[in-house]
Amino acid sequence: MSIVVISTGGTIASTEAADGAAAPDLTGEELVAAIPELGSVADVRTHEFTNVPSPHLTIDRMQALSALCAEYDTDPSIDGIVVTHGTDVLEETAYFLDLTYGGETPVVLTGAMRNPSLASPDGSGNLLASVRTAASEGARDRGVLVCLDDRVHAAQDVTKTNTMALDSFRSPEFGPLATVDESRVVWHRAVADGGPVFDVSDESLTNDVHAVTVTAEMPVAQLDCARGAAGLCLATTGAGHIPPTIVPALEELRDAGVPLAATSRCPEGRLARETYGFEGSERTLQELGIYYAARNLQKTRIATVVGLAADALDELFERPER
């Protein structure tokens, strides 16, 4: 069994500098060398992709990482891929890979909530559990996976729920796919609604997709960012409700050809289709021709970026009409 660990930086690779502030500087080789038990799980090799905090990662770098995973998928000597990553935008990278990586080799992303210079760091345990997961036969055909705190999640479901807690990564409503119990990976459920994989190129990708959370009496000026943009994603209140004051601005954006996608700012549930009919309700969204998304706002933005690049928004989203 051979697993490649692709290191990208983040807290898992950070150490404390002289001024007391942590920053990524450990290589993937150093991360692996610190866990002798890995040798009993698989033959682990490393690939240094980058070494940055995850907020520094760009859409282009996500695409390059997807291409690298696809390259390793063609190597018959590789049985699994683990990506070490900062936790801040880990779910966005994982979802980008889920939408664009079509290989059969399992891909598992992991990271750490505590850097190695702190008491009880979690990075080594997370990396060991992730290698076990990537080596597990059950990891196949479940899409891209995320493994932290001995829980294995689907990239499409998982989100970071706490700024510092070790169990920050959870899958609201659905729960994890598996649990890592000592040396075993115990699988609980299959992936729900696994969708197609999209072929995108560097030239077709854009980061010019805006994401706005809807709040009470939000200023209309918040939508000015989307004038001339490639797309706008909204996290609506409740089951798809917005203040009526922003409806004219959304109509202008729609008429100007800006694709609009909506999700809910609630961590669980989906947008409604028929319950309410007041101005600014789900009926208004449908009259605007807004795409309905099933993921959170940050993943809705990633899906829009991929959908625009692949000319496949209609495959990624629904668009209920009255």
Percentage above 70 pLDDT, the chain: 99
272 pLDDT more than 80: yes
- At 280-312, the pLDDT tens digits run 999 999 999 999 999 999 999 999 999 999 999
In this prediction the pTM is 0.96
Tell me: the pLDDT tens digits for 241-258? 999 999 999 999 999 999
Is 56 strand, coil or helix?
Answer: helix
For residue 131, the one-letter residue type is V
Stretch 58-74: mean pLDDT: 98
Catalytic residue ranges: 11
Give the pLDDT mean for 137-148. 96
pLDDT at site 202: 84
Position 76 scores a pLDDT of 96
- The tokens for 235 are 């996290």
Residues near 96 by Cβ (< 8 Å), separated by ≥ 6? 59, 62, 63, 66, 302, 305, 306
Q: What is the percent of the chain with per-residue pLDDT over 90, rounded to a whole number?
A: 91
Query: What 3-state class would DSSP assign to 36?
Result: helix
Confidence of residue 20 (pLDDT cuts 50, 70, 90): confident
Distance separating alpha carbons of residues 305 and 230, to the nearest angstrom: 9
pLDDT, average across residues 6-17: 93
* Average pLDDT value for residue range 143-170: 97
Q: For residue 22, what are the CA distances in angstroms to 14, 52, 58, 117, 121?
A: 6, 12, 21, 8, 13
At 90-132, the pLDDT tens digits run 999 999 999 999 999 999 999 999 998 888 999 999 999 999 9
Q: Comparing C-alpha atoms, which of 221, 195, 207 is closest to residue 301?
A: 207
